[in-house]
Amino acid sequence: MTPTDHAQRLQTRTAWLFVAPLLVILFAVAIWPLARTIFFAFTDAYLDDPANYGFVGFSNFVTVWEDTIFWRAVSNTLIFTVVSVAIETVLGLAIALLLHRAFFGRGLVRAAILVPWAMPMVVSTRIWDWMLNDQFGLINRILIDLGIIAKGIAWTADPTLLLGVVIFIDVWVTTPFMVLLILAGLQLIPEDLYEAAEISGVPPWKCFWSITLPLVAPAIGVAMLFRTLDALRMFDLSYVLAANNTNTMTMSIYARDQLISFQDLGVGSAASTWVFLIIGFIAILLVGLLRLDRSQH
């Protein structure tokens, strides 16, 4: 064995040593629970006694598949995701463009817009829940005083409004996150590109479409991917606002209901596995679509 071989082996061993704790933790918190969930999805175990189970094949998956409430939860989640991410992206881009310009007190404004995002979702949801209360809520009071409506709207009780309220609160909470990511992307665009365009007499709208947007697109893409995956597994907001109301029930709430409320470990695990597969499929689709695996300029 040459000295180089020895050094190489030592290096490899040291590398494994450094990576090992991470691998152990990853296995403990991600791979093992996932494997257990998939395993239980094929059994008839109950939560109070998971050791006592028998294999039932794919019947749990079929049960979930045939449950109309599950599909309602899927469609709620998808509507919530598409609409809220779309609004957050457009709003986030607009606010980021405003904040990108230098103005007095910009630093303060940047810090201030982060406040909604820094608050725990449960707190934000409760705040809006109270403000939107049909009798005592601030929002109805303002709308009545302004003469826009005659009597209070039942924002959080009216089934047709509920999903809209959920989307509204999510936009309020997470737009700052979008703003920050897009702002970081904007700041990477060299100022002299705009000066070159200015001298060439390129009109502002064309500057936006042909310079700003293509160059900030990778940042927007990453931000949308983060937000989409986050939105697809949303639980807290809907649950705090309306618990397991079917109008706002998300996939995660459905799985939790099966698992905790009905104590059905098998069906709950099957539902969780479905959620995992759906989110995984969308993630792969998005990464492919955004070509994030390829180096972008």
Which residues ranging from 214 to 243 are in contact with other proteins (CB under 8 A)?
214-215
Question: Among 55-63, 112-120, 125-133, 191-199, which window interacts with other proteins (CB under 8 A)?
Answer: 191-199
CB atoms within 10 A of CB 115: 10
Question: Among 67-75, 111-119, 210-218, 247-255, which window interacts with other proteins (CB under 8 A)?
Answer: 210-218
- Work out whether 200 is an interface residue with other proteins (CB under 8 A): yes
Residue 158: CA count within 13 A, CB half-sphere: 11
Q: In the complex, what is the shortest distance from the CB of residue 219 to other proteins, in angstroms, rounded to a whole number?
A: 13
- Work out whether 199 is an interface residue with other proteins (CB under 8 A): yes
- Residue 240 near residue 126 (C-beta atoms within 8 A): yes
Angle between helices 59-66 and 265-290 (to 10 degrees): 70
- Work out whether 206 is an interface residue with other proteins (CB under 8 A): yes
Which of 18, 68, 203, 293 is in the footprint of other proteins by CB under 8 A?
203
Cα separation, 18 vs 41, in Å, equals 35
Distances (CA, A) of 285 to 14, 278, 290, 292: 37, 11, 9, 11
- By C-alpha distance, which of 227, 200, 207, 174 is closest to 100? 207
User: Which of residues 68 and 200 has its CB atom nearest to other proteins in the complex?
Assistant: 200
Which residues ranging from 43 to 82 are in contact with other proteins (CB under 8 A)?
none
User: Which of residues 38 and 197 has its CB atom nearest to other proteins in the complex?
Assistant: 197
Question: Among 145-153, 192-200, 249-257, 261-269, which window interacts with other proteins (CB under 8 A)?
Answer: 192-200
User: Which of residues 38 and 202 has its CB atom nearest to other proteins in the complex?
Assistant: 202
- Work out whether 187 is an interface residue with other proteins (CB under 8 A): no
User: Which of residues 3 and 105 has its CB atom nearest to other proteins in the complex?
Assistant: 105
- Work out whether 192 is an interface residue with other proteins (CB under 8 A): yes
- Work out whether 204 is an interface residue with other proteins (CB under 8 A): no
Cα separation, 150 vs 216, in Å, equals 45
User: Which of residues 28 and 217 has its CB atom nearest to other proteins in the complex?
Assistant: 217
Q: Which residue has the tokens 């500057």?
A: 207
CB atoms within 10 A of CB 44: 16
Counting residues that bind other proteins (by CB under 8 A) gives 18
Which of 202, 222, 240, 286 is in the footprint of other proteins by CB under 8 A?
202
User: Which of residues 102 and 199 has its CB atom nearest to other proteins in the complex?
Assistant: 199
User: Which of residues 167 and 216 has its CB atom nearest to other proteins in the complex?
Assistant: 216
- Residue 237 near residue 252 (C-beta atoms within 8 A): no
Cα separation, 286 vs 228, in Å, equals 9
Cα separation, 272 vs 251, in Å, equals 8
- Work out whether 201 is an interface residue with other proteins (CB under 8 A): yes
Which of 32, 198, 289, 291 is in the footprint of other proteins by CB under 8 A?
198
In sequence order, what are the residues at sequence separation of 6 or more whose Cβ sits closer than 8 angstroms to the Cβ of residue 287?
A: 225, 293
Angle at 276 between CA 67 and CA 74, to 5 degrees: 40
Binding site for other proteins (CB under 8 A): 190, 192-193, 195-203, 206, 210-211, 214-215, 297
